[in-house]
Amino acid sequence: MALFKRCYKLTLTINGKTKIYQELATSDVSLKIEFEVTASVNGAFSNGTITIFGLKQEDIAFLATNYNPQTLQLKDSFVELEAGYPEQMAMILSGNIYESEPNFTSADQSIRFKVMSGVQNNLKKGGGIADNLTKNATFRDICTKVASNNGLGLKYDNKIPNKVIGDYAFQGTPYQQVMKLRELMPLSVNIAINNKTLEVSYINSSGAKKIIISGDSGMIGTPKPTSTGCIVTILLNPTLSINTFIEIQSKKLPQVNALYRIIEVKHRGGNRGDNWHTELTLTKAF
């Protein structure tokens, strides 16, 4: 892996007009960007902030028009951010702009976006949905309905027992339906949204594929122990996702060496400073 060549590709589409900013090859020189992206088992969707520096004033004005003050509605927008290295690029955030903050006062004038997956889908549902399933509705039936309402594919682990929930009724937004789903899930099941897919997985570390994290594989500093696991920072790895099993191998803090599961991924980086890291919140895998 070419660790010292940071690569990114940022695609912004607003009202059918697309702008692309990228640094992929060693010779590429583009605008400066900074980003912070978070995906968590407890949140409905991935979200993050992206700041672009050095834009022309007319470009900032164009990119800041995602909100229409006359209709009080968000305009159609879509953002994709890929990051990594020449041999390892992956999507770390895709979604809609729900807030933009232009800055014309500094020398390197900028614009900062707040982005979340599924915003446009949530708006198109008119702010609410109503679902009713029969008394024989299974947990899988409900997961299928929730994925459809949120514009997601469904990856359902067949190892999950086919539990009958019974009567199921819901009224609210697609976002809220994802959060409600977590209240219905059995203790042995975990729910995450990765790459436009609702992943419903059976928690079982036995025989699961794991990734080793150590000082030799990009760990920065030592893990920080928590009440349920630990937090570890590594060189940016865009391929890691929620529910991946991680084995920590720390020479300086061997007490934390164990098998864990990722419950939150936070990517921080840019081509303006030193940040190019992934922070993982881990819980013990049993």
Which SS3 state, helix, strand or coil, does residue 267 take? Answer: strand
pLDDT tens for 73-100 read: 666 778 899 999 988 899 999 888 888 8
Specify the pLDDT at position 31: 85
Specify the pLDDT at position 68: 61
Specify the pLDDT at position 220: 95
Q: What does the block give as tokens for 230?
A: 């630990």
Low-confidence residues of the chain, pLDDT below 70? 1-4, 42-44, 66-75, 119-127, 185-187, 204-208, 286
Query: What CA–CA distance (Å, rounded) separates 224 from 203?
Result: 24
Specify the pLDDT at position 127: 56
Q: Of 230, 183, 239, 187, whose CA–CA distance to 211 is shortest?
A: 239
Predicted TM-score of the model (pTM): 0.83
Whether residue 53 contacts residue 31, with contact meaning beta carbons closer than 8 Å, is answered with: yes
Specify the pLDDT at position 2: 42
Specify the pLDDT at position 120: 63
Specify the pLDDT at position 186: 64
Specify the pLDDT at position 1: 42
Specify the pLDDT at position 75: 66
Which DSSP string corresponds to 102-159? EE-SSTT-EEEEEEETTHHHHHHTTT-EEEEE-TT-BHHHHHHHHHHHTT-EEEE-TT
φ and ψ of 257, to 5 deg = -65, 115
Whether residue 93 contacts residue 81, with contact meaning beta carbons closer than 8 Å, is answered with: yes
